[in-house]
Structures are given as C-alpha cells and as structure tokens.
Amino acid sequence: MGEREEEAECEFDGPWKEAIELFFEPFLQFFFPAVCAAIDWSREYEFLDKELEKITPDSTTGKGTVDKLAKLWLLDGQERRVFVHVEVQSQVQAEFAERMYTYNHRLRDRHGKMPVSVAILGDDRFGWRPEQFDETCCGCDVRFRFPTAKLLDYTGCEAELSVDPNPFAAVTMAHLKTLETRGQPGSRQEWKLSLIKGLYTRGYDRERVLLLFRLIDWMMALPPPRRIAFEADIKAYEEEKKVPFISPTEQLWMDRGIETGVEKGRSSMLKSIESVLAKRFGSDGVALMPTVRLMADIDDLGEIQILVATETDLDSLVKGIENYAR
C-alpha cells in the first residue's frame, strides 16, 4: 500500500468574498434571479462591509462565514441596502437562521427599511436547509423567512455548469469539487485542470479568465508535488492550444499558495491598499482593486501602496496603477 499523500488545506472564505466583490450582479443573477431583476444595475452600488461589522452579533462569525453588505437602488427608485450573507462552512451551524434574523433586524432598525437577506449554503449536508427563524412568547410571534441557495443541489450538473457563462457556474463547480475530492489530491488535480481548461470555452475576455483562474487556484489547493504537476499540465495545454492568457500570469499562480508567508504578506498589502483607496477616493477608488489584484509582483504592490497614499488626483492614480499592471 502506497504512502498517503499530504492534503493541502483548502480556502473557501477568501475566494467567495472576492468572487462576490468582483461579480456581484452575476452572483445574484445566478443564485437569486428575482432579487437581481428588482435592482437598477444602471446605477452605481457600493459595498458597506465596515458598516456591517458594527451590527455583527458577538462571537457568531469566523472561519467558514463570509458576510457582504451592499447599498444599491431598486428599479422602483427606492434606495435599499441589500445584505448578502454567504455561508461556506462545511459543518452545520445550529444558530444560523437566528443569526440571519438578527442581522436583518439590526439593519432594519439602523436604516428604517427592511434589507434583503440571502444565504448560500456551502456545507456538505444535503439535509441542512435553514430557511426561516421562528420565535414565540405569550401570543407574540415572529417568523423570518429568507432565500437560500444550496450548493449541493448542483451536484451532478457538471454538463450544464461547464457551459454556463455566468462566472458563478465555475465558482460553484470549484467549490463542489473541492468538497468532493477531500483526501483525493489526484482527483482534485484532474478536476482543477478540467475547470481551468473550461474557462476558455465560455466566451470570457482575458481579464475574466485571469480572475477566475486565480479564484479556482486559490480554492482548489493542492499539495506541492501535485501543484507542480498541475502547473506542468497547464503549460502543456497552453503550448498545445496556443492559449495567450496563462503565460503573463504564471508567476502569479506560483506565488499564490506555494509560499504561505508571501501570500500572507500579499493579502495584507491588498487589504491595506483597498482600505486607503476607500478612505481617500470612496467607491471610485475601490473599483480599482480588480486591476490591483492582478499584480503578481510584491515590489509592484509596494509601489502601489505608496501611490495610493500620496496621489491626490484620481485620474493620475488610475494611470499610475495601469502602468504597473502592464
């Protein structure tokens, strides 16, 4: 019997949070089309995660939980804050429905309008489907219902997901195959390669391919020997198909996960850059983050940190960031 292979620790929280930030409209369109149809996407929206932190129940969040809050406009002209809660933990959480109610109630109390609360259930239990919270006392009743999407319901839908152009079809497949291949690094490597190859048949532009490549690579972690083999497979595919997208970012994928210390430093720098952009330039500044995240070189990110802290003109800042991104 061969020696059991080392298993890489997988990450769901970070990839899901970034995917929602990058593709918010497609996220709602894929999982909650009725909510998406009610929103006026011609008007700008912004994420208010810092505000969400102010109403977060104590000791109820942590690893396995991604919370997002967005302020946007409905088609009826009302400004409405949409609270998006993404649950990606692998274990059932008994108080989940109550927490959803608490978030919704506190946001309603804070802003005077009921937000829209939705949840993604990314656990590995088919039977766990919290969709409402009920409470009663002495004739007083509260019932709070919220829309959910269960990722396990997409099990067996690989054929449909593999041709769906919505980026969350690829993200959902990556999540499911990461769960499915626990303890099976060989199978995970095969599925990861298949998912990456599939990005080129969905009609995506270069930027979307790169962004989804990064998210899938981040989520479907492989142990070092398997990762090296995966990179060799990608290189061979690139040479065979003359794919123009991977080569410019190959170092990014190698940097992202092989050296944990480097990744932690990069993640910290990205958070710092985003924080300064939000403080100095608001939503227009935060909108530059997708471009910044594509940068593989730590030294370039260091220069960007200086640039966002010192540049006073947004147009000049945009040009400066684009110069480093080339």
In this model, does residue 200 exceed pLDDT 60? yes
With a pLDDT cut of 70, the percent of the chain lying above it is 83
Spatial contact of 231 and 189, defined as CB atoms under 8 Å apart: no
**Count of residues making up the chain:** 326
Q: pLDDT category, 72, cuts 50, 70, 90? A: confident
**pLDDT the model gives residue 195:** 94
Q: What is the pLDDT of residues 77-98, one digit of tens each?
A: 777 777 776 666 556 788 889 9
* All residues at 6 or more sequence positions from 131 whose CB lies less than 8 Å from its CB, including other chains: 97, 145, 146, 147, 148
Asked whether the CA dihedral 222, 226, 228, 229 is positive or negative, the reply is negative
SS (H, E, C) 59-125: CCCCCCEEEEEEEEEECCCCEEEEEEEEECCCCCCCCHHHHHHHHHHHHHHHHCCCCEEEEEECCCC
SS3 149: strand
- Beta-bridge partner residues of 132: 145
- Written as one letter, the residue type at 173 is M
Which residue in the block uniquely carries the two structure tokens 């710092």?
272
User: Does residue 66 or residue 134 have the better pLDDT?
Assistant: 134
What value does the mean pLDDT take over residues 173-185?
A: 94
* CA distance linking residue 82 with residue 72, whole number of Å: 7
Q: What is the pLDDT of residues 243-274, one digit of tens each?
A: 655 543 444 444 444 444 555 567 777 887 88
Q: At what angle do helices 167-180 and 24-31 cross, to 10 degrees?
A: 70
Highest mean pLDDT out of 143-147, 197-201, 274-278? 143-147
Spatial contact of 85 and 40, defined as CB atoms under 8 Å apart: no
What value does the mean pLDDT take over residues 231-254?
A: 64
**pLDDT the model gives residue 259:** 44
In this model, does residue 292 exceed pLDDT 70? yes
Spatial contact of 222 and 182, defined as CB atoms under 8 Å apart: no
User: Does residue 5 or residue 168 have the better pLDDT?
Assistant: 168
Q: What is the pLDDT of residues 11-37, one digit of tens each?
A: 788 889 889 989 999 999 999 999 999
Specify burial of residue 280 (Cβ count, 10 A radius: 0-12, 13-18, 19+).
middle
How far, in Å, are 273, 310, 325 from residue 289 at the CA level?
A: 8, 17, 11
* CA distance linking residue 20 with residue 26, whole number of Å: 9
In this model, does residue 2 exceed pLDDT 70? no
Spatial contact of 245 and 202, defined as CB atoms under 8 Å apart: no
In this model, does residue 197 exceed pLDDT 60? yes
In this model, does residue 224 exceed pLDDT 70? yes
- Look at residues 83, 61, 63, 64 and name the one whose alpha carbon lies nearest to residue 72: 83
